[in-house]
Amino acid sequence: MKLPATDLHPLVQEYLHELHVLRQLSPHTLKAYGMDLGDLQNFALEDSIDLLKVSNGHVRRWAGRLHSKGKSSRSIARALSAWRGWYHWLTEKDARRDARAGKVTGNLVANPVDDVKAPKRLKSLPKALSVEQALSLVSQAVKEAEEKKDLESIRDAAIIDLLYSSGLRLSELLGIDVMQSKDRQQESAGWLDWDAAEVTVLGKGGKRRSVPVGAPAMQSLNIWREIRNSSSYAQQSNALFLSATGKRLSPRTVQARLRTLAMRAGLPTHVHPHMMRHSFASHVLQSSQDLRAVQEMLGHASISSTQIYTSLDFQHLAQAYDKAHPRAKAGKA
C-alpha cells in the first residue's frame, strides 16, 4: 500500500514544513525527503508498527527491504539520513515539551536510526583506454594534423598529445599560457617551459605542480605554437590553446572535438578529457609501479586517491592472465 503525499503523518508534514521555512531547503530536496519519509511510513504501516514506537531492529529490517528492492547504496544512505533527521527532530521536540511540562512525556527515548549504516558503496573504477587505444587516438590526431594542416587539427593534436603525456585535468589544460605572465594582476594559471619540456599548472585547492612533457607531445606543441603565433589572433590572448575566433578555448569545444576524433579513430567507447587522465595514470603505473610518482604527477593530495589506479592495473593483469595462461583457459572450459 503506497501512501499519497497528503497522507503523510502530521508530524512528518510538520517536519517538512520546518525544513522549508527554517532551513529553506530546495523543493527538489524537500520532495526527496518526503519520498524517503513516505517509505518509512509505508514500512511501518505494512508491519503494523506505530511510527513513534519504531525500534532499531525495525529500521535495520526496512533498510534491508530497500536493498532487496534494488535501491543503490547511495539511495539507502539518503533514506536513512532522512529517517535519522526526522527522529532527531522528534526527540528534540519531545525534550522541549517535557522541559515545559516538568516531566517525561515523550514517545522516543532514543533515535532508532542511530548506528544503522547503509551498505558500503562500491567505488566505480575510472574508465581508461588500453595502451593500444590511447596510442591509436593520438596517432589519429597527429595524422589528421599532418594531412589537413589547418589550425584546428594541429591544435587538437597538440591538446590530445599533452593530455595523454602529462595527465592534466581539462581545467588545468585550458589555463595554460604560452609563456608565464609577469603581471601580478594577470598571473598565469599555468605555462609551458619550452626548454625544460615541463608544464606547470594550477590544480585543485590552488596548488601548483610541474609535470614533464614527453618528446612526441613537445613536438606537437611546438608545431602548434608556430601556427598559433603566426595567426592574426596571436596578440589577442596569452592562452596557449585558442579557438577559431582567437579566444581561450572552452571546455565544451575540447570535449566535442575529442569525442568526434575518437569516433574517427574507431574507438568503441565515448572518450572524454578525463579519460585521457585516467589512461595516463594507469599506463604510467603499469610500467613504473611507482604510486608516489603518479600521485605527484596527478596532483592528488592523498595517496588514497591514486590507489584506485592499482585496481585498474590489477584488472589489466587479470585480463592478460585469462587470455594467456593455459590453466586459466582450462578452468573456464
Q: Are 179 and 238 in contact (CB under 8 A)?
A: yes
pLDDT attached to residue 333? 40
pLDDT (tens digit per residue) in 216-269: 999 999 999 999 998 877 778 899 999 988 899 999 999 999 999 999 999 988
Q: Are 215 and 197 in contact (CB under 8 A)?
A: yes
The answer to whether residue 184 is catalytic is no
Tell me the C-alpha distance between 283 and 290, whole Å: 11
The answer to whether residue 23 is catalytic is no
Tell me the C-alpha distance between 260 and 123, whole Å: 29
Domain ranges for the chain? 10-101, 131-330
Which of the residues 65, 78, 274, 316 is marked catalytic?
A: 274
Which segment of 50-59, 140-149, 305-314 scores lowest on mean pLDDT?
Answer: 305-314
pLDDT over threshold 60, residue 48: yes
The answer to whether residue 233 is catalytic is no
Q: Is 73 left (phi over 0), alpha (psi -120 to 50) or beta?
A: alpha
Which of the residues 96, 97, 204, 325 is marked catalytic?
A: 204
Which of the residues 155, 228, 257, 300 is marked catalytic?
A: 300
pLDDT (tens digit per residue) in 99-137: 565 554 556 668 899 888 877 765 666 688 999 999 999
**Cβ neighbours of 88 (radius 10 Å):** 15
Q: Is 10 left (phi over 0), alpha (psi -120 to 50) or beta?
A: alpha
Question: 10-101 belongs to which CATH class?
Answer: mainly alpha
pLDDT (tens digit per residue) in 180-219: 877 766 788 999 999 999 999 999 888 899 999 999 999 9
pLDDT (tens digit per residue) in 11-22: 999 999 999 998
Fold of the 131-330 domain: hpI Integrase; Chain A (1.10.443)
Helices (H), 189-271: 215-230, 251-264
The answer to whether residue 33 is catalytic is no
The answer to whether residue 283 is catalytic is no
pLDDT attached to residue 104? 47
Q: Are 280 and 129 in contact (CB under 8 A)?
A: no
The answer to whether residue 277 is catalytic is yes
pLDDT (tens digit per residue) in 300-328: 887 777 777 766 655 555 555 566 555 55
Which of the residues 169, 228, 257, 283 is marked catalytic?
A: 169
User: What pTM did the predictor assign?
Assistant: 0.59
Which of the residues 15, 33, 164, 309 is marked catalytic?
A: 309
- Cell 611546438 locates to 222
Q: Hey, which residues does 192 pair with through a beta bridge? A: 199
